[in-house]
Amino acid sequence: MAEEKKEELQNQEAQAKESQEAPKESAPAEPAAEEKKEEPVKAAKEQPFKEEAKTPEVAAPIAESEADIWDTASDDGFGEEYSEADRKKMEALYESTLNQISEKEVMTGTVVGITNRDVIVNIGFKSDGLVSLSEFRDLEDLKPGDEVEVYVEEQENANGQLVLSRRKAKIVKAWENIQKALDEDLVIDGMVKRRTKGGLIVDIYGVEAFLPGSQIDVKPIRDFDVFVGKKMEVKVVKINYANDNVVVSHKVLIEKDIEKQKAVILENLEKGQVLEGVIKNMTNFGVFIDLGGVDGLLHITDISWGRINHPEEVLNLDEKVNVVVLDFDDDKKRISLGMKQLTAHPWDSLDAGIDVGSKVKGKIVNVADYGAFLEIIPGVEGLIHVSEMSWSQHLRNPQDFINVGDELEAVVLTIDRDERKMSLGIKQLTEDPWTKQDVLTKYAVGTKHTGIVRNLTNFGLFIELEEGIDGLVHVSDLSWTKKIKHPSEFVKVNDELEVVVMELDVDNRRLALSHKHLEENPWDTFETVFTRGSVHKCTVISKNDRGAILELPYGIEGHVSSKNLQKEDGSNASEGETLDFKVLEFSKDDKRIVLSHTSTWKEGAEQPAPAAPKKKAAPKGKGNTLNKINNESEKSTLGDLDALSALKEKMEEAAAKPAKKAAPKKEAAKTEEKSEAKADESASESADSKEESKDS
């Protein structure tokens, strides 16, 4: 019996042990999600400090659940599993020990440990995270238990660890704070790190922001380096997330205070009020002055009674000056200031003895197209008009005569002290050449002079014989032989030209001059050379529908109609061709010669008109005139009068000899014309040879 009881007790003990082990073996039958949550816990077992923290929290619920199981087993017996309610209760207790976290967000964690390389941070997740110790350099007294903000990069990496970053958390938090500062118009304390092109780099919340130079202060800043390393209050004015750019401004903070001061100043502003200001900017047209919150413009003409080229000649930046309010605009908030108005006008102190006819000395301060300004004393100027600089009528640009800085003496022509205007003259210091006593004899009609060509016009040219004495040479008085359409065909400006006085009018200051009258009229001689019916070698210069222009001997021109250009072979003479032409008409008064080539070979062609009555013999000087024309003409043809007289003598001797009986009258006439043509050619050749010898 004892053995049977002993075996029965052993069986009961074995069943009790199995019933105690049954709940422990049923625990692994949790859902797959519960197993997944236990994996990081297993990995975290390597961290003993965490087990110590977790063990007390987990042990109590397990003990409590085991007690309930034992109570249930004692009531219902051994070998039964957890009920559904017990399982849910167990899950709720486990999940209450963990936080719900999401990746890519900032969370607050607690430092639970510090090693030589990492900081261990607990964010309430099933495992702790590691953050590099280098990311806590700004926290020198970091210790376990401190709360820090971290950025959740990954819940589990390849090693099953939670990945955190404090650096990224600071960046994300900084951008959140920057956006908040922009939305709520908050003032931020920044640190100026360094200077950059166009402004400064300011550190706000660990992010580098750009502070433009124009946004540093209300007045221009010339030295940015003085702000480097200093704290500065700024406001965010623009964010560009695409480029991670932030623009801040310190000027907006100052402007708010200035607006209040500006309103007070404008309320009390009056014309004529004298204020003290500081020069904040200079331009070539004036100076901007800070009046203590509002800017005013001091124009360059209101700085000094004297003439200045740039404000920097008399003023300096950041200089304190007294100015008077000249005008202001309430709507546009513009204020015009003056400085010279604080002193007496120099015209009030001008010597009362200065009057019309007085001589004054001064310095040229400005030269314009119409004249120059002579400063007698600072603030008192007189205008010297270009017409009062010289008796010459051809002075067009004052800068050719006067330069800035020249010290000159002038005569007062007009003066108006009320209008504060004065006109001066320089030419009055010398005698008017037209009023000289010898002008009537020096420039009497027929006198010859050499002058300089000063101006060309369509109708003629002006020659300056001396300063203040000019004369006109009409285009028709330039040459006897050449047909000149414009004076530029004959001379150029600044060329010297010899002329003879044709007319003198002292009262109106006029001189009529001529260049061609230096010589005798060669048309008196041409009348004896180009007689009607005479034949001459001529060159076709140009052709038109009505005919052609010919160049005759001695460089004169002749005209021929189209029907008289026909040659013996039936063709017409072309430009540049040299042929024999017969004179059909000669007019000395009109200076016109009409010729024909057809008449030299064709019977019945147009013949010369009846010869006019014979004129008197040419004057003695005609030979010299023709010689001179020969020398000046581009192409010599008949030569001088010696060759011409020799030709006439031969013709007279030939006419004196009896004509041969065998030759008919017509043939004799033709022979005579041919002999004349040959004689003309020989004379032309002799003239050409003479010209060549002269040229050589």
- CA angle, 556 as apex, 553 and 558 as ends, to 5°? 95
* pLDDT: which is higher, 643 or 409: 409
Closest CA to 306 of 235, 263, 363, 239: 363
Residue 99: pLDDT band (50, 70, 90) is: low
Global pTM reads 0.41
Task: Give the 3-state secondary structure of residue 640.
Answer: coil
Region 106-118 average pLDDT: 82
- pLDDT > 60? residue 138: yes
**CB-based contacts of 661: which residues, under 8 Å, 6+ apart?**
none
pLDDT for the residue 611: 53
Where does the pLDDT of residue 411 fall: very low under 50, low under 70, confident under 90, or very high at 90 and above? very high
Average pLDDT over residues 286-297: 85
* Distance from C-alpha of 235 to C-alpha of 249, rounded to nearest angstrom: 5
pLDDT of the residue at 241: 82
How far is Cα 550 from Cα 581, in angstroms, rounded to an integer?
9
Tokens 């000649």 sit on residue? 313
* Confidence (pLDDT) at 330: 66
Distance CA 536, CA 600 (A): 10
pLDDT of 665: 40
CA 274 – CA 643 distance, rounded (Å): 99
**The two three-digit tokens of residue 483, written as one number:** 């047909």
Q: Write the single-letter amino acid at 571.
A: S
How confident is the model over 71-84, as pLDDT tens digits?
444 444 444 566 88
Contact by Cβ (8 Å): 464, 538: no
Is the per-residue pLDDT at 310 higher than 50? yes
**Residue 234, CA distances (Å) to 202, 293, 498, 523 in order:** 9, 19, 85, 99
Least reliable range by pLDDT among 49-58, 69-78, 356-365, 375-384: 49-58
Region 620-647: mean pLDDT is 45
pLDDT digits (tens, 9 = 90+) for 17-57: 554 444 444 444 444 444 444 444 334 334 433 333 343 44
How high is the mean pLDDT of the chain? 74
pLDDT digits (tens, 9 = 90+) for 500-523: 998 888 888 888 999 888 887 777
Statement: residue 676 has pLDDT above 80: no
Q: Which domains does the chain have, with CATH numbers?
A: 19-95 (no CATH), 106-170 (2.40.50.140), 269-342 (2.40.50.140), 346-429 (2.40.50.140), 433-518 (2.40.50.140), 523-695 (2.40.50.140)
Higher pLDDT, 173 or 24: 173
User: Is residue 313 scored above 80 in pLDDT?
Assistant: yes
Distance in angstroms (rounded) separating the CA atoms of residues 208 and 201: 6
pLDDT tens for residues 189-240?
A: 889 998 888 889 998 888 889 999 888 887 777 788 888 888 988 889 888 8
Can you tell me the mean pLDDT for 178-195? Answer: 88
Query: Buried (b) or exposed (e) across 301-312, using 16+ Cβ within 10 A?
Result: ebbbbbeeeebe
How many angstroms separate the first and last alpha carbons of the chain?
A: 177
For the record, the structure tokens of 96 come out as: 């209450």
- Rounded distance between C-alpha atoms, residue 304 and residue 314, angstroms: 9
83-106 average pLDDT score: 70
Query: Which one, of 215, 333, 338, lies nearest residue 275 by Cα?
Result: 338
The C-alpha atoms of residue 373 and residue 381 are separated, in whole angstroms, by: 6
Per-residue pLDDT band at 431 (split at 50, 70, 90): confident
Mean pLDDT of all residues in 177-190: 87
